[in-house]
Structure 1
Amino acid sequence: MMQPYWTNGQATLYLGDAQEMLAELPAGSADCIVTSPPYYGPRDYGVPGQYGQEPTPAEYVETLRQTFSQARRVLADDGTLWLNLGDCYAANSDGWARGRDYNERQPATRPASRLSVPPKNLLGMPWRVALALQEDGWILRNAIVWHKPNAMPQSVLDRVSTRYEMIFLLVKQRRYWFDLDAIRESYTGDRPVPRRARGGCSRAIDGKYTPEVDAICGKRHGAAMMATGRRHAAANERGRNPGDVWSISTRPLRAAHFAAFPIDIPLRAIAAGCRLGGTVIDPFAGAATTALAARQLGRPFVGIEINEGFCDLARARILAATAQAQGEETETG
């Protein structure tokens, strides 16, 4: 039985390789997995066995496929996996390829990739991984675009700047736990009447179904169809579906590695994809952002991290958040 690096009863951290640690966890012990593995190649953390430094994109994809095969075993049958991944290029705009310094101006810090595409190609790594997981038996339910309104500017002149990353929602079976009401958003502005409420007519006046439109398109369906039509056309009183484009600003964390994603992402994923009291797992815990979201929503957390420094940082952040919450409860109590 593996021993945790640290635990406070609500959150538990394990130090080690994600794939190996997942293999030790009981089957079906997680209700939700929210994670962001190291992307392919941008940083060398100097830790043996680290992910993201594989020689080729294919080997990186295979590493994650094997890791999430173990994650699939650990995930409950009705659980959800939320996977955040960013993309990369075969070389930057100066011609510096992955693993090579063509101009010999700086040492190579990226893996010595043997690529099958010319330099400057966008590699499509998130989709390579997602499709590999799909072929491995996962059901790909959503490809969510995380739009970054405050994305860092890029010094490129021959393409547009990248301002988004992907978040994939994957599940094990057709029926799974998903609470849409928990993440609905408030309506803003006038909501146009859906096509279904207009009897299938694609034309309207000022976005509304009117007698004038009746004259152009014909009457709506008969009384037998009206109840169903109204039910589908009506705005949900709890709010609207947030859709698959999430505009969420990044939140830099100086104490952590640069890739820490904002807490808003795991907050939304856990609220929608984890039953009350269910356990949340992050196999690439990093700075424990997912742990903080799980604590805030009252879900137990299990994190795995290969870097001991990040484990210490994660523990410190969890303890600080817990102390702050207890202090606020004391003040309001």
Structure 2
Amino acid sequence: MTSLYYRDHNMELHVGDALEVMATLPTASVDCVVTSPPYWGLRDYGTAHWIGGNPHCRHSLGTTPHQRRTVKKTGTGRGRSDSAKHCRRCGAISQDQQYGLEPTIEEYVRRLREVSAEVERLLTPGGTFWLNLRDGYSYHNSGTGSTRTTTVDDSPKVVRHKSLLGLPWRVALDLQHDGWIIRNAVVWHKPNGIPDPASDRFSSRYEVVFLLVKQPDYYFDISRVLAPLSPNRPASRKSRRGGTKPYTVKSPWNPHSLGKNPGDVWSISTRPLPEAHCAPFPLDLPWRCVTAGCPDNGRVLDPFSGAGTTGLAARKLGRFYQGIDLRADYHEIFLRRLADHTAGTACDRSEVA
């Protein structure tokens, strides 16, 4: 069964598992990948298929993804778990390909490594891979437990209750071990972040966007994303040589005449999208990634496309777009958003596969 959901001369949309769909795409066919995989343990996107049980039941695995990962304790204190997920109401078995509900941190990281390996195959030699990840905290609904993890020798370890997990860097360092070059760990600062009820720590106000590449020589055009220079900066500071003190830099400093490097802290406000899931990143973020990291007329891929914000950025910049998601209705949201961004011109639905 084909995964193709929609195609025209500007884009392709696929429905299915990211890994399975990418395996059907040709090698070295993508110039830029910008994506934000589902965060671990944050939400259930309702993509499960159910086997057995009561066909009229409104199946549920529990109240929250965190509770579904709870490791129950036996009398000996050793953890026990069932690899099959069952409906708490009728016992039906859940089969689900979505990312983010893995029972352990290692399983989540392993799956992202598999996806990244396919990204490496699909990218051109000079391609760029922009990976947005959010951190989280070890959680147990009893307030006394820990999130299970393992060490290299498979001995059980735990991340203690309430501890920050360090998920973005767990993934990034494993990808570095796989051969990726980490060029940047951009801090996406969210000035209007969601209110945090925590009273025993500071609120989380940022996520991380990693810029990963396959080789030292890759496509990157900083001139397209320069930040404006301060109008109050004196001429002597706009172009000057190093100071006269010992050990200072003596070479001349000639900044870009049109602006300055925006740096690796991006303050970009979130923008809610009521008709979609509650986690789309703002258009400005993928726009900056695609602008700097994808050549003109290049091809952009998002293997976790969701409501298609990366697609909007790619199309506004004239790049070909390929999006993959488990839910076809998210592609419909993207097509409506794209029509709104193109002066109300509707997409030709006759080309839907």
Fold match (TM-score > 0.5): yes
**SS of equivalent to 1:20:** helix
Note if 1:127 corresponds to 2:169.
yes
Whole-angstrom CA distance in 2 between matches of 1:313 and 1:23: 25
1:85 is matched with which residue? 133
| Contact 1:6 1:315 survives alignment (8 Å) | no
**SS of equivalent to 2:344:** helix
Cα distance, 1:193–1:325 mapped onto 2, change above 3 Å: farther
Q: Report the aligned-residue RMSD.
A: 2.4
| Contact 1:83 1:167 survives alignment (8 Å) | yes
2:20 is matched with which residue? 20
Whole-angstrom CA distance in 1 between matches of 2:23 and 2:336: 26
1:73 is matched with which residue? 121
Q: Could you tell me which runs of 5 or more consecutive residues in structure 2 were left unpaired when the two chains were aligned.
A: 48-95, 150-157, 347-353
Whole-angstrom CA distance in 1 between matches of 2:147 and 2:336: 36
Cα distance, 1:320 vs structure 2:
3.1
1:102 is matched with which residue? 142
Whole-angstrom CA distance in 1 between matches of 2:333 and 2:309: 11
2:107 is matched with which residue? 59
| Contact 1:33 1:280 survives alignment (8 Å) | yes
Whole-angstrom CA distance in 2 between matches of 1:21 and 1:297: 25
**SS of equivalent to 1:315:** helix
Whole-angstrom CA distance in 1 between matches of 2:335 and 2:5: 9
Cα distance, 1:309 vs structure 2:
2.3
| Contact 2:33 2:130 survives alignment (8 Å) | yes
Whole-angstrom CA distance in 2 between matches of 1:27 and 1:152: 40
TM-score by length of 2: 0.76
Whole-angstrom CA distance in 1 between matches of 2:122 and 2:242: 47
Higher strand share: 2
Q: Which of residues 236, 249, 252 is equivalent to 2:272? A: 252
**SS of equivalent to 2:291:** helix
Matched length: 287
Whole-angstrom CA distance in 2 between matches of 1:144 and 1:279: 22
Whole-angstrom CA distance in 2 between matches of 1:7 and 1:200: 61
Whole-angstrom CA distance in 2 between matches of 1:325 and 1:140: 40
Q: Which of residues 160, 179, 190 is equivalent to 2:202? A: 160
Cα distance, 1:114 vs structure 2:
2.5
Whole-angstrom CA distance in 1 between matches of 2:187 and 2:39: 16
1:144 is matched with which residue? 186
Q: Could you tell me which runs of 5 or more consecutive residues in structure 1 were left unpaired when the two chains were aligned.
A: 92-96, 104-111, 202-216, 327-333
2:233 is matched with which residue? 190
- Percent same amino acid among aligned pairs? 48
Note if 1:261 corresponds to 2:261.
no
Mean CA deviation greater in 136-145 or 183-192: 183-192
Higher helix share: 1
Cα distance, 1:113 vs structure 2:
5.0
**SS of equivalent to 1:117:** strand
**SS of equivalent to 2:315:** helix
1:284 is matched with which residue? 304
Alignment of 1:230-241 (within 5 A): 230=252, 233-241=253-261
Whole-angstrom CA distance in 2 between matches of 1:321 and 1:60: 35
Whole-angstrom CA distance in 2 between matches of 1:236 and 1:55: 49
Cα distance, 1:310 vs structure 2:
1.4
